[in-house]
Amino acid sequence: MRMAPAKANMESRTSPSNLGSVVSVRGSVVDARFNSHLPPIYSLLHAKDGRIAVEVLAQLDAHCVRGIALTPTEGLARGNPVEDTGGQLKVPVGNGILSRMFDVFGNAIDRQPAPADVEWRTVHRAPPALARRSTKSEIFETGIKVIDVLVPLERGGKAGLFGGAGVGKTVLLTEMIHNMIEHRKGVSIFCGIGERCREGEELYRDMKAAGVLPNMVMVFGQMNEPPGSRFRVGLAALTMAEYFRDDEHRDVLLLIDNIFRFIQAGMEVSGLMGQMPSRLGYQPTMGTELSGVEERIANTDTGAITSIQAVYVPADDLTDPAAVQTFSHLSTSIVLSRKRASEGLFPAVDLLQSSSKMATPGIVGDRHYLLAQEIRRTLAQYEDLKDIIAMLGLEQLAPEDRKVVARARRLERFLTQPFFATEQFSGIKGKLVSLKDSLDGCERILRDEFKDYPESALYMIGAIDEAKGKATGKPAVKAEPDSNTAAKGDPQPAASSNPKAGAGPQPSAEPKPKPEVEHAAAGAHES
Ligand SMILES: Nc1ncnc2c1ncn2[C@@H]1O[C@H](COP(=O)(O)OP(=O)(O)OP(=O)(O)O)[C@@H](O)[C@H]1O
Ligand SMILES: [Mg+2]
């Protein structure tokens, strides 16, 4: 299955053949001895007719180098000849790579012939100089309500989707690709690092079906690849992105799933190379390695690279060194919460932990800014009230607080959205919502215009006007995850036809002490 890594690397060799021999092979770590000329750091060595590729990471003494294999090392033995290719790892760039899928060596992995008319460039490049960088603060609309309202993305910025296992990072990333790619004129590059091969294949098929492949390039080093390959595949994708930015002067959208796997691959490489681990077993050079990648994702006067990166958060612990390190590079951090996911409130964005540097009045405008602040305040107050509700029950709250609870719960539900990416298994058609509609909806909820509507009418809808159809039309199709707290005594027929509807945060409801009220209060606490 594996093809000879980067044949072109051998062709582009400039220096005369420099042969050495293998001294030792320990898993992915290969030591080699060169008697005449010691290969420099990052040189690519080939063994077994180019089937095995090794990147030099250290010079041990005047004649020996230590490298990490980018391919499996099966069959490599002590004494085998190794050849210094005289260059570094290279990938193809040019218009010929559009609509294609590559591995870390730049080999096409879409069962089509290798792209013609391409230039090979080394993946190790310096970030653009400070003087060449540009900053414009512009919003990048995604059509996803919760993101556009509370954590707007920056055009030419870096956004991270943080979350533990299975909270919806890949789904959200796929949805963003779907929403943005059709309306963009630029190039999109998808880089799969250390995730499932299945996901890469599915994405390729989806993009092909959607007809957006002609402006897309995919690069994969998935979880079946050796650590060296996963460690370098991000650089391969970046090199392609830089080509389109610097040579073609186009805007690039760089999508990475998952940047944590890059850090993890670095950790494996570091361990294999015998470096002492740092905090929590991470490599001592994690910060340098990550900034080596992140700093290359920059905007220059010729073009911009907008990047969206999924970041796996080990054990849902946002203080994990890998997550902390990544946070500091991003202009928007979207944190996904397991609690919201378990309540079925998708996209499971943690509304209070997520943040964006774009959410300032100078950039989004006064109305949007004040509205976002008001939403956050309402949700934060509800968060504070949850303990009291759990202990004393909802009816013990002051009427004003009960109004806050009703608003917050309606906001939470309005900020859910059916996705195109999940149409197959949710059965609800995906919706794209404009920023104006999202803001209007939130504003009207905050003005209590929907206080008489059942909460479920706001769940999984697009623009706010759909709530009317849902509340007055047919009975609620789908019971809400915690519908035992849905408003009771609601004037809307939908609520009365919902047998699960219990007492809820209905400000106008009589505060009658009933056993089921206790139950509802416990439900409102949400674990
Ligand atoms: N918007 C959504 N609507 C409905 N279901 C969703 C949504 N987002 C995520 N899910 C559910 O969560 C599951 C896991 O999502 P996803 O694969 O995106 O997680 P992940 O964060 O990428 O996980 P991993 O870290 O394992 O890659 C999905 O298969 C789906 O069932
Ligand atoms: Mg995933």
Determine which of 231-245, 401-415, 513-527 has the lowest per-residue pLDDT on average. 513-527
pLDDT at 337 over 90: yes
CATH 3.40.50.280 assigned to domain 98-112+140-357? The reply is: no
User: Which range, of 113-122, 428-437, 441-450, 516-525, averages the lowest pLDDT?
Assistant: 516-525
User: Could you say which of 121, 158, 169, 409 is catalytic?
Assistant: 169
Catalytic residue among 55, 83, 175, 195: 195
Q: Whose Cα sits closest to atom 3 in ligand 1? A: 346
As a whole number of angstroms, the distance between CA 180 and CA 202 comes to: 18
Above 80 in pLDDT, residue 29?
yes
High-pLDDT (> 90) share of the chain, %: 66
Q: For the domain covering 366-525, report its CATH number.
A: 1.10.1140.10
- What's the confidence (pLDDT) of residue 436? 94
In the predicted structure, residue 501 carries a pLDDT above the cut 60 = no
The predicted-structure confidence for 289-335, as pLDDT tens digits, reads as follows 999 999 999 888 888 899 999 999 999 999 999 999 999 999 999 99
pLDDT in tens, 98-108: 999 999 999 99
- CA angle at 360 for the pair 357 and 363, rounded to the nearest 5°: 95
Q: What is the pLDDT of residue 468?
A: 84
Phi/psi for 385 (5° steps) reads: -75, -15
Residue 16: its pLDDT value, please? 61
Q: Which ligand is nearest to the CA of 169?
A: 1
Ligand 1 centroid–CA 246 distance in Å is 35
Q: Locate 353 and state its tokens.
A: 């932990």
Predicted pLDDT at 355: 93
pLDDT at position 503 is: 36
Q: Whose CA is nearest to atom 14 of ligand 1?
A: 166
Q: What is the DSSP letter of 241?
A: H
Mean residue pLDDT across the chain = 85
Show contacts of 44-47: CB within 8 Å, 24+ apart: 44/6, 44/9, 44/85, 44/87, 44/88, 44/89, 45/20, 45/82, 45/83, 45/84, 45/85, 46/5, 46/9, 46/10, 46/82, 46/83, 46/85, 47/22, 47/76, 47/80, 47/81, 47/82, 47/83
Q: Is the Cβ atom of 171 under 6 angstroms away from ligand 1?
A: yes
CA 244–ligand 2 middle distance (angstroms): 27
Predicted confidence at residue 181, as pLDDT, reads 78
Asked if 85 and 9 touch (Cβ cutoff 8 Å), the reply is yes
Q: Ligand 1 centre and the CA of 150: distance in Å?
A: 21
Least confident residue range of 89-98, 116-125, 503-512:
503-512
Indicate whether 4 pLDDT > 90: no
Q: Is 166 in the pocket of ligand 1 (CB under 6 A)?
A: yes
pLDDT the model gives residue 491:
36
Over residues 449-456, mean pLDDT: 91
Percent of the chain surpassing pLDDT 70: 87
Which residue, 252, 245, 261, 369, is CA-closest to 308?
Answer: 252
Dist CA 463 CA 438 (whole Å): 6
Q: Please, which pLDDT band fits residue 43 given cuts at 50, 70 and 90?
A: very high
User: Residue 233 and residue 235: Cα distance in Å, rounded?
Assistant: 5
Q: Among the listed ranges 97-111, 160-174, 354-368, 464-478, which one has the minimum average pLDDT value?
A: 464-478
Name the least confident of 248-262, 381-395, 458-472, 488-502. Answer: 488-502
**Known catalytic residue: 133?**
no
Q: Half-sphere exposure (CA, 13 Å, Cβ side) for 102?
A: 33
Class of domain 7-90: mainly beta
More confident residue, 349 or 478: 349
Looking at residue 473, its pLDDT comes to 58
367 against 515, higher pLDDT: 367
Q: Measured in angstroms, how far is the CA atom of residue 433 from the centroid of ligand 2? A: 24
- CB of 27 within 6 A of ligand 1: the answer is no
Radius of gyration of the chain (CA): 27
Residue 183: pLDDT band by 50, 70, 90 thresholds?
Answer: confident
Q: Which three-class secondary structure string do you get for 252-307?
A: EEEEEECHHHHHHHHHHHHHHCCCCCCHHHCCCCHHHHHHHHHCCCCCECCCCEEE
Q: Whose CA is nearest to atom 12 of ligand 1?
A: 168
Shortest-distance Cα residue to atom 9 of ligand 1: 168
Q: Tell me, in angstroms, the distance from the centre of ligand 1 to residue 275's CA.
A: 35
Q: Give yes or no for residue 169 CB within 6 A of ligand 1.
A: yes
Predicted confidence (pLDDT) per residue in 194-228, tens digit: 999 898 888 899 888 888 889 899 999 999 999 99
- Which residue would you say has higher pLDDT here, 16 or 191? 191
Residue 516 has pLDDT above 70, yes or no: no
* pLDDT above 60 (res 68): yes
- Position 156 scores a pLDDT of 85
Decide if pLDDT at 89 tops 90.
Answer: yes
Of 84-93, 162-171, 367-376, 498-507, minimum mean pLDDT range:
498-507
Cα of 346 vs centre of ligand 1, distance in Å, is 9
pTM of the model: 0.84
400 catalytic per annotation: no
Q: Is the CB of 259 under 6 A from ligand 1?
A: no
Q: Choosing from 7, 13, 51, 196, which is the catalytic residue? A: 196
Q: What is the pLDDT of residues 258-285, one digit of tens each?
A: 999 999 999 999 998 888 999 899 999 9
Report CA 463 to chain centroid distance, whole Å. 25
β pairing state of 216-221 and 101-102:
parallel
What is the mean predicted confidence (pLDDT) over 437-442? 95
Pairing of strands 52-59, 119-122: unpaired
Pocket test residue of 144, 147, 171 for ligand 1, highest count of atoms within 8 A of CB? 171
Per the annotation, the verdict on 136 as an active-site residue is no
CA 122, 127, 132, 134 torsion-angle sign? positive
Residue labelled with tokens 């949710």: 426
Summarised one tens digit per residue, pLDDT across range 44-56 is 999 999 999 999 9
Question: Per-domain residue ranges for the chain?
Answer: 7-90, 98-112+140-357, 366-525
Does the pLDDT at position 513 exceed 60?
Answer: no
Q: For residue 328, what are its two tokens? A: 């500091």
338 torsion bin: left (phi>0), alpha (psi -120 to 50), beta (else): alpha
**How large is the average pLDDT for residues 40-69?**
95
**Ligand 1 contact, 481 CB (< 6 A):** no
The highest-confidence range among 129-133, 296-300, 408-412, 516-520, by mean pLDDT, is 408-412
- 371 vs 424, more confident: 371
Write 372-380 long-range contacts (CB < 8 A, 24+).
Answer: 372/149, 372/150, 374/446, 375/149, 375/150, 375/351, 375/411, 375/442, 375/446, 376/150, 376/351, 376/352, 378/404, 378/407, 378/408, 378/411, 378/446, 379/351, 379/352, 379/408, 379/411, 379/412, 380/352
Ligand 1 lined by 168 (C-beta under 6 Å):
yes
